[in-house]
Amino acid sequence: MGTRLSSLDLAFLGLESQRTPVNVAALQIFEIPKGYKGNFVRDLIARMMELEAGPPFNVKLSSTSTLTLPSWVHDDEFDLGYHVRHSAVPKPGAMKDLLEVVSRLHSRIMDRERPLWEFHVIEGLQNRRFAVYFKMHHSAVDGMGGVAILEGCMTQEPTEDLRAPWQELPKRKKAGFDWNPVRAMSSVVDGALHQLNMGRDVGKLLLGHGSKLIGLQPADSPVPFTAPKSIFNVRISGARRFLTTEMSLSETKLLAKQSGASLNDVILAICGGALRRYLLDKQALPEQTLVATVPVSIRHINRAGNAITYVGAKLGTEVEDPMQRLLEIRRSTHQAKAEVSEVEPDAAITFAVMAQGIVGVMNKLGLHDLLPPPANVVVSNVPGPRHELYFGEAKLLANYPMSVLVDGQALNITVMSYCDTIDFGVMACRHTLPDVDVLGDYLQQAKADLEKAVARTGGAARARRKKAKKLRRLSTVKKKKAG
């Protein structure tokens, strides 16, 4: 008997087509150990091929028919060599050549007759480096689950034993069988109450969005399917372009502290500033703010499957001043987080399934050109490891996330932290955004602009406090003289 897919997992399967592969991936850059004798990459692959695969890597879909609901079942003909692939970039091994290779790999859908993952080891990079491009279908894993899988095969010391990401995940300890009629009846009652509460909470989310839509309550956070039309919200091609850039995590955290915002708000503000500049260059900036879909993890234990929901956040692209943009984003995310925190996790996931279902129907019927988009862009922030990691003695230098595009959403910005770096992975439709490379410079410029704005605001605040202190001191002196 197989493991059933959740409703959200099934929704990700339903979104896929030849033009819209629903793959999530990581592009990792490693440094070959100094003084290594021989071909390190070839030797590493040989060692990994000796390690057996376990769930969820040796399971496949039970059925590829659209008429039956699939489940995950063991692949009796599992072939590790099919999933692990070795290639190289042409000399001199520039980063742009690597990005071109992985852009093409990310454009391809995977064979549903096999387990839905691929592990590409790519050598030939400059400065004694190699890359790993590891992708899985989004129905099998979400961002936080992917981080857990990758961390599980990494070590904190280069001398520790090698683990492959496809080795079996540690199992949770199961309790022994101890049937009790009172406990069984209580479980049934708890389950029924849970379903009632979940239905109530889903209704609460829908009612809240309806109230904002008709003006009965403030709409600081956006209502789904009310975003403005933009050049990002079109039918996409099957080809992809991938861009990477990096920022200092400690500097960005300091910026968040100085501005009184969260790290996620600052990242959204940087993205909003970059997208504003890009759209101004195209003379295509909507008067209304762009809206971002922001995935929110509600994962607790499992590393396979999906445990996420979505909130909407304004990006303040209609605002010229970076500080005012950040304040608008902070108000937006504060309300969105409050709405999700007031409901059960299962209700939040159900709401995400409903949203994905509507997007799927829109795409199947070609309605994304006729209806307002649910959001303009996806911006996702995935916390990663804060300590250095190694993979078979090779030091991990960078970890760039790669995500999904669908019709009506030609741009996805996903960031992941590693040590003191924030790694940006920008995925774009090659046809819609052929010049996506400029966004790397725009993201850096948006961060610099926000730093200047926060410094000005902080300087003005310090001047006001200094003036108020001086006035209080003069007032005290006058009172003493009067006395």
Of 83, 106, 137, 138, which residue is the catalytic one? 138
Contact 218, 212 (CB under 8 A): yes
What is the number of residues in the chain? 483
Could you give the CA distance from residue 472 to residue 35 in angstroms, rounded to a whole number? 67
25 three-class SS: strand
Quickly list DSSP for 414-444: EEEEETTEEEEEEEEETTT-TTTTHHHHHHH
CA dist., res. 456 & res. 470, Å (int)? 21
Kindly give, in sequence order, each residue whose CB lies less than 8 Å from that of residue 221, ignoring residues fewer than 6 positions away: 212, 311, 312, 313, 314, 332, 333, 335, 336, 339
Count how many Cα atoms sit within 13 Å of the Cα of residue 381 in the half-sphere of its side chain: 17
Pick from 150, 145, 146, 135: nearest CA to 22: 135
Phi, psi of 360 (to 5 degrees): -60, -45
Rounded distance, CA 115 to CA 385, Å? 27
What is the CA 113 to chain-centroid distance, rounded? 27
DSSP string covering 283-330, please? Answer: T---SSPPEEEEEEE---S--SB--EEEEEEE--TT--SHHHHHHHHH
How far lies 66's CA from each of 13, 14, 61, 63, 437, in Å?
Answer: 10, 9, 12, 8, 38
CA distances from 400 to 158, 198, 383 (A): 21, 36, 12
Contacts of 237 (CB under 8 A, 6+ apart): 19, 429, 430, 431, 432
Q: Is 194 a catalytic residue?
A: no
Task: Compute how many other C-beta atoms are within 10 angstroms of the C-beta atom of residue 213.
Answer: 14
Chain centroid to Cα 243, Å, comes to: 15
Task: Please list the residues that pair with 4 across neighbouring strands.
Answer: 71
CA 444 to chain CA centroid, Å, is 19
How many CB atoms are located within 10 Å of the residue 141 CB? 24
What is d(CA 316, CA 284) in angstroms, rounded to the nearest whole number?
A: 15
Cα distance between residue 60 and residue 77, in whole Å: 10
Q: Report the 10 Å Cβ neighbour count for 446.
A: 22
Q: Show which residues are catalytic.
A: 138
